Amino acid sequence: MSLIQPLVETHMRKIDALLQIIRNFEWHKLSEIAEKLGVPEESLKKAIVLLAQQEIVKYDAETNTVALNPEWKFLVED
């Protein structure tokens, strides 16, 4: 096992948890998500901006909220 593997797994779990939180396609405050995930809000914001650039999520910088893009619903389907 590489030294990077545990770090990657930890980040993937956080991404999975993020997707579970926003899976309802409603707008969610980054501050509340950061608290639930146990991550700094600024770190979460950087990740959200990256996901928004790929159009996986919608990000509203004015309200600092995020919603899952319905086109990516397959990511959260059971």
pLDDT, tens digit (0-9, with 9 covering 90-100), for 47-56: 999 999 999 9
Better pLDDT: 10 or 72:
72
Paired strand residues for 60: 65
pLDDT, tens digit (0-9, with 9 covering 90-100), for 15-32: 999 999 999 999 999 999
Separation between Cα atoms, residue 78 and residue 33, nearest integer Å: 22
What CATH number is attached to the domain comprising 36? 1.10.10.10
Question: Domain tally for the chain?
Answer: 1
Cα dihedral 45/46/52/58 (nearest 10)? 0
Nearest to 31 by CA among 40, 18, 22, 23: 40
* 43 pLDDT more than 70: yes
User: What residue numbers bound the domain in which 26 lies?
Assistant: 5-75
* 1 pLDDT more than 70: no
